[in-house]
């Protein structure tokens, strides 16, 4: 089982600080959150660590579903920079959010937003394929401004277009999916964290109500061979979650 942790837990510190912590726990992988304040990640920063990597493309102020074409193109360009970095460092995956919807667009132009997001995902996925980088699109939690909260719809689109999913287990639980309902063939990368279904809380594993053992066992029965990225709020939660993984799987 491949286990890593996201640098989201140490986003307020230097990237080096987060990587030193993750490496010090004995984890094999780190997922680099490639946005402010860590926009400028170069391969030489990573060479002194024994870690392997995945990358979370920028999601703050980025929207590949934007109906404002200049904003959409700028967002795609930023995500392509993450794919370029992934190619240089031989990262195992790049995680991409499918986009957001404004209150006005949600009222009048929802179909246009979904179509725009789909076009952007196809373009980004194709760019990843050209560089030999796995690009995996993440299911979203139940917040009004986020699209593709419905995993069945996301999976259908991805499967029909030869694209891949990042299963975010916490997001799936927040959207009302049971342990048995959140398993899809398109899943190639995983974010694992816990909550009680009422918020996207990113709790330590075992501190919410998700049947994580059942989710992971279902994935392992389907021969999932990607990474489980622990995506929690702080260093102590990474440590607790890694202990949970070692004790239970």
Mean pLDDT of all residues belonging to the chain = 97
> Looking at the 3D structure of the chain, how many domains does it have?
1
pLDDT tier at 29 (50, 70, 90 boundaries)?
very high
pLDDT in tens, 65-76: 999 999 999 999
Q: How far apart are CA 103 and CA 6, in angstroms?
A: 30
Q: How far apart are CA 157 and CA 153, in angstroms?
A: 6
Tell me the CATH number at 232: 3.20.20.150
pLDDT in tens, 167-203: 999 999 999 999 999 999 999 999 999 999 999 999 9
Residue 149 domain boundaries: 2-248
pLDDT in tens, 101-148: 998 888 999 999 999 999 999 999 999 999 999 999 999 999 989 999
What is the predicted pLDDT for the residue at 104?
A: 87
Find the mean pLDDT for residues 211-238: 97
pLDDT in tens, 142-176: 998 999 999 999 999 999 999 999 999 999 999 99
């Amino acid at each position: 089982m491949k286990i890593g942790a996201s640098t989201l837990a140490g986003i307020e510190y230097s990237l080096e600080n987060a990587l030193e912590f993750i490496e010090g726990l004995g984890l094999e992988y780190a997922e680099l959150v490639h946005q402010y304040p860590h926009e400028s990640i170069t391969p030489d920063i990573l060479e002194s660590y024994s870690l392997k990597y995945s990358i979370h493309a920028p999601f703050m102020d980025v929207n590949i579903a934007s109906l404002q074409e200049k904003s959409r193109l700028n967002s795609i360009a930023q995500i392509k920079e993450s794919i370029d970095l992934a190619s240089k460092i031989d990262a195992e995956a790049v995680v991409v959010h499918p986009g957001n919807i404004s209150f006005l667009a949600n009222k009048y132009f929802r179909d246009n937003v979904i179509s725009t997001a789909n076009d952007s995902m196809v373009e980004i996925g194709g760019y990843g394929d050209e560089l030999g980088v796995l690009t995996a699109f993440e299911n979203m939690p139940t917040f009004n401004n986020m699209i593709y909260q419905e995993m069945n719809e996301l999976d259908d689109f991805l499967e029909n277009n030869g694209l891949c999913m990042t299963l975010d287990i916490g997001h799936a639980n927040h959207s009302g999916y049971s342990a048995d309902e959140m398993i899809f063939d398109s899943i190639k990368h995983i974010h694992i964290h816990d909550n009680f279904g009422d918020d996207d809380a990113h709790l330590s594993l075992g501190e919410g109500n998700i049947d994580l053992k059942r989710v992971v066992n279902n994935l392992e029965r389907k021969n999932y061979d990607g990474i489980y990225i622990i995506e929690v709020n702080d260093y102590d939660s990474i440590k607790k979650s890694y202990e949970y993984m070692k004790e239970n799987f």
